[in-house]
Structure 1
Amino acid sequence: MIHEFHITTASNNTNGLLTDLKQRAKWIHQQGYTISVNIDQKQVSGIEELVVKLQGSQFGQVFRDEDILCVFKHQIAEVIAEHILTQWEGKLIWKEINRTARTLSEEEKQLIYDKTVEFLHACQDNEKLNRLLYFGRKSRIANRVLEYINENNFLLVEGFITFCLRDYLTEIKFAVEIACEELRSEKEYNDFVTLLRFYVETQTPKILEVNVLMTSNNFFYLWDGNGMKIDDSYMDYYINEMKFNEINFDDVLISILITIAPRRIILHNSGDINRQPIQTILKVFNDRIKICSGCFQCHHILNNGFQQ
């Protein structure tokens, strides 16, 4: 039996293909068959054709030629799927970015690229789940490749992606769109924070020092530098707003602090410093912030509530 298959791809992407093919050929070699790979440099610049040839015949053995050929095609499909994900996906992302976000700066495009890769490969905190999602994408591509090579002995990788992997390209397009939207939201958020910072810096403080303690259920306590509870009048307006508008306790806290514009804010029981309200407070008030690592007042309020 002799079976030959041709793979044409970008010449700077063939090393991984060759390595993967050699690794996957071991089992077939053990069955008495050989797989050879020859590289044909095409006249078109940057293009190489890999000629993969399966040879051998083992009459009377456990596996028939048809079985070996089936395994061979499955291995080719797996190799090409891995090749597309590792060598072509980055190019496809950049192509989509340059199409949909061509007016952005190179720095912004790089941010979109990084976010897109993160969405495609690390959309979950669970590493095992991310790996499972990756193998799911790879499996879908490999199945499509297998369908194709069962009918054809030649595959041009770029053309195959363009015409046979429309769902995969749509997935990349969707990830780029999400990344663009997130970048846009981040820019709007940063502009908003800059505006708030300017406002705070131009205001006369109503209270010089404000202590903030946030609980695990997103409630908060406020008191001044003398240990006195902050006047409820600052809170009443925003609490009433919560009844009629879609604002939460985090928004209320930030609004109160901006209204008071204190010279110093002490954050108690801050816990996860990366929480959105804490990050916003840190960015708006900047060097006015002091983080309490734990004090008597923290423990007392958490255990007994606020008492004057």
Structure 2
Amino acid sequence: MTCKLRIGSNREVNQLKAALAQSFQWLNERGYSLQIKKERLGTYNYLLLSLQGPGKGSFLREEDMIHIFKYQLAEVLAEDILDGWETELVWRRIDKKYRVLSEAEKQLLCEKAVDFLKRCNENESLNLLIRFGRKNKITHRIFDHLHSNDVLILDGFINFCLQDYLTEIKFAVELADEEIKNEREYNEFIKLLRYFVDSQSPRIFEVHLMVTESGLFYMWDGNGNLLEEQLVEYYLDDVLDQDINIDDILVSILITIAPRRIVVHEAGSVPETESLKIVKKVFVDRIFTCVGCERCDKNPHLKNSDW
């Protein structure tokens, strides 16, 4: 039994050759021999694969063995595309559609796009499942090609047979570009708030802040007095009109007060809210974290009477 295939690429193929040799080590244990030779023709590098079997007496039929060999080869090539080609394909997309960007901006865009492709969801298990599905789809495309062809040129195969994968790359680059723009606008917004806070005198020198698990917040001054309810009532109409949420109220109140010192108290294991992130970025060196006090130890769902 003999099966010969040729894999070509305009990229270096040494890493792919090593991956193939490692993946097919089991063939020797079954009495088969796989030779992998590298040659260069023009601008392309080729790997010549020659599988030879024991013939009669094998535990598998010849057609079954070739089927297994081609499918595993397709898996290795799919892995090579995802691990070795993906960043280059993202770069090609960026160079084509984002020529006006500087090299540093392109690099940032590339990193974010590649990260989107690998981690598009907060759930790591779901990310692995998505990537497995992507690899599985590419594997079957390659296997279908090898079923009726003994030559596969990776460059052309990607460009003409993996259009859905290239569409995913295009979408990832667009998402990354949108996120960078949003981050830039967000940073400008933070700078504006920081400038506003720095340019006004504090209405209260020290403010203590506690955010509960339910999203409610409590604030009191350095003497332990709850801040005036008028500060919240000022924004109440906007809340009722759904123009502003609780998080926005917290940021607005603190910016209006412009305290020189903000002590953040921990109310149990409360995840950091977006408003708290903004507060920390705006007030920066004015933020202090309480390492433990009587109020931190109380139930997070506090009432005014608890103070």
TM-score, shorter chain, exceeding 0.5? yes
Judge conservation of contact 2:213–2:271 (CA < 8 Å) in 1: no
- The count of aligned residue pairs is 305
Where do residues 68-217 of structure 1 align in structure 2 (5 Å cutoff)?
Answer: 68-217=65-214
Letter of the 2:300 counterpart: L
**SS of residue in 1 equivalent to 2:203:** coil
Q: Which residue in the other structure is 2:31 paired with? A: 32
Where do residues 288-307 of structure 1 align in structure 2 (5 Å cutoff)?
Answer: 288-300=286-298, 302=300, 304-307=302-305
Q: For residues 216 and 303 of structure 1, what CA distance do their matches in structure 2 show?
A: 8
CA RMSD of aligned residues (A): 1.9
Where does structure 2 lack aligned partners over 5 or more consecutive residues? Answer: none
Q: Which residue in the other structure is 1:284 paired with? A: 282
Judge conservation of contact 1:97–1:109 (CA < 8 Å) in 2: yes
Q: For residues 243 and 74 of structure 2, what CA distance do their matches in structure 1 show?
A: 51
Judge conservation of contact 1:32–1:58 (CA < 8 Å) in 2: no
**SS of residue in 1 equivalent to 2:148:** coil
Letter of the 2:154 counterpart: V
- Deviation >6 Å, runs of 4+: none
Give CA-to-partner distance per residue, 1:105-164, whole Å, 9 cap, x none: 322222222222221112334444333322221111000001111111111111100000
Judge conservation of contact 1:273–1:279 (CA < 8 Å) in 2: no
Where does structure 1 lack aligned partners over 5 or more consecutive residues? Answer: none
Cα 1:216/1:54, change in 2 over 3 Å: same
Point out the more displaced range, 297-306 or 147-156. Answer: 297-306
Point out the more displaced range, 88-97 or 111-120. Answer: 111-120
Judge conservation of contact 2:213–2:300 (CA < 8 Å) in 1: no
Judge conservation of contact 1:221–1:306 (CA < 8 Å) in 2: no
Instruction: Give me the TM-score of the superposition, normalised by structure 2.
Output: 0.92
Q: Which residue in the other structure is 1:251 paired with? A: 248
Sequence identity of aligned pairs in percent? 42
Q: For residues 179 and 303 of structure 1, what CA distance do their matches in structure 2 show?
A: 39
Give CA-to-partner distance per residue, 1:23-78, whole Å, 9 cap, x none: 2323333333221111111222xx30111112234224331111111111112211
**SS of residue in 2 equivalent to 1:102:** coil
1:298 CA displacement: 2.8
